[in-house]
Amino acid sequence: MESNSILLWLIIIIPALAAGLEALMGRKRPQSAGLAAIVGAAITLGLVLVLVWQVVQGEKLMAWSGQLYADGLSALVVLVISIVGLAATVFSYRALRGAVAAGKTAVGRLPLYFSLDALFMCTMLWASLTNNLIMLYVVVEATTLASALLVTFYWKRESLEAGFKYLLLCTVGITFALLGCVLIYAAASPYLGGHQAMLITALAPVVDKFPRELTLLALAFLVVGFGTKAGLVPFHSWLPDAYSQAPSAFAAFLSVGIKVAAYALARVLTIFYPEYSGIGLLVVALGMVTMLSGIVFAFAQDDLKRMLAFSSVSQIGYVMMGLGLGSSLGYFGALYHFLNHALLKSMLFLCVGALVYTSGTTLISELKGQKGKSALTAICFFIGALGIGGMPPLNGFWSKFTIFLAAAQSGMWWATGVAVFTSLLTLTCLVRAAYKVFLEREDEHEEPAAACENTQNQPAVALPWSMLGMMAALAALSVLIGLSPNLVNQLIAPAVQSIMYIAVGG
């Protein structure tokens, strides 16, 4: 059942208003920066919960003559964005004041951070709710523009280089997506007319009439364009630099940004699966290369944020693998892992933010042996490491296991083998890092790292409750989903039905 709803507008407008308020109020009272963004994120999450409830009940919501559209798939993505967005924004409030106290930034820059943080949320939500093919490109590009200045927030040489690289590669890459969108629009116009040809939900019934060569070229452009933003190998080189230089709380939020690009791929590519079955195989192969390459690079990192960034590259490979399988079980596993990875990885980045707050570093070699780390940070980090590694009964196990089953069911035993092997490498990589940071003692080594000497005698710093609370909330949610996987079935199933519905021309 389709119905018009103002909810879609409100979900986009509220964070935009919060961004504006932060910019206006921040000039007079920079000490209060963050309050409007937190309130905006909380209201947005409330509205999204209402939207999710309506979609789970079988409704499809529309606005602006179908230009905005919310089905099960959109509902899942906006829910992930709003949960992680609220957690990251609340965490940032005290974490950035800690950075001001440490001399890393000035209090006058806080309004800029929270204004762009809210704007980033606005653009990601818009990308997830738009039903317009060209607007999809515009708002995905807008997510890059809104977040680039946050990558450079600390205004160091390294962060400026990372921000420039992020902006340049993602903008060039996403231009290919624009070319792909324009080609699809040109192919659809003779059959649907100018207005309808832009609507993603209107394309499926006519894709079999598109010129084959033009369609394949358009799909290749879309894979390169949105694949660059999603961090697929070999288009991922911007990602570790951007994640490592951005404030840790924003890195948690940025980790959802690559999933919005993956959503854009899923929304458009799956329409063509029935007529172009080879596309699915290409996506599976890209997923294989991405997951294996990402975790191999992660092993070589001493910086926790870079390690988590490469791990994100690897995990997006699992999502792409599930989407490429083209079966309902594959879609279910991909979207389930989409949700689980967003919760687990954002929690891990918040844990790194907590380590920065108490220890002032993200280097594993400097963190090992240090005292004063929060026990809750250690517990949350181990939960995240074990969850992403696929250890039962945590949520990451169930989503990976579903993808393994879907691959085996499709007869792709080679893909199943690579995915299982990569999962073992992921478990080893993340648990090894957790052990070194939280459990390993300095006297286990004959020659202590010289770099640690300046930080060994620092007094213990207590973490604010707001930072602890956000980590604990994401950890609790992850554990709850792992222990009771049926809880999310009602959320994932409509998302899977949405993909199948669009793919068959609904």
Rounded CA gap, 125 and 356, in Å?
A: 29
pLDDT digits (tens, 9 = 90+) for 97-141: 999 998 888 998 999 999 999 999 999 999 999 999 899 989 998
| Number of domains making up the chain | 1
Query: Where residue 443 falls among pLDDT bands split at 50, 70, 90?
Result: low
Q: What is the pLDDT of residue 454?
A: 46
20 neighbors 123 (Cβ within 8 angstroms): no
Query: Where residue 442 falls among pLDDT bands split at 50, 70, 90?
Result: low
User: Is 457 inside a domain boundary?
Assistant: no
* Residue of higher predicted confidence among 209 and 373: 209
**Residue 63 reports pLDDT greater than 70:** yes
User: Is 363 inside a domain boundary?
Assistant: yes
State the sign of the Cα–Cα–Cα–Cα dihedral 453, 459, 462, 467: negative
* Residue of higher predicted confidence among 257 and 184: 184
User: Is 454 inside a domain boundary?
Assistant: no
pLDDT digits (tens, 9 = 90+) for 349-360: 999 999 999 988
User: What's the pTM value of the predicted model, to 2 decimals?
Assistant: 0.93
Q: What is the pLDDT of residue 459?
A: 52
Q: What is the pLDDT of residue 170?
A: 87
Both structure tokens of 275? 């007529």
User: Is 82 inside a domain boundary?
Assistant: yes
Q: What is the pLDDT of residue 301?
A: 93
**Residue 16 reports pLDDT greater than 90:** yes
User: Is 458 inside a domain boundary?
Assistant: no
User: Is 451 inside a domain boundary?
Assistant: no
User: Is 260 inside a domain boundary?
Assistant: yes
* Residue of higher predicted confidence among 345 and 441: 345
Phi/psi at 70 (nearest 5 deg)? Answer: -130, 115
Both structure tokens of 471? 């980590």
Provide the residue range defining the domain that includes 188: 3-442+463-503
Rounded CA gap, 475 and 469, in Å?
A: 10
**What size, in residues, is the chain?**
506
* Residue of higher predicted confidence among 502 and 230: 230
**Residue 340 reports pLDDT greater than 80:** yes
End-to-end CA gap in the chain: 12
User: Is 57 inside a domain boundary?
Assistant: yes
Count Cα atoms within 13 angstroms, Cβ side, for 266.
35
Average pLDDT over residues 396-402: 94
Q: In a 3-state reduction of DSSP, which class is residue 303?
A: strand
Mean pLDDT (the chain, rounded): 89
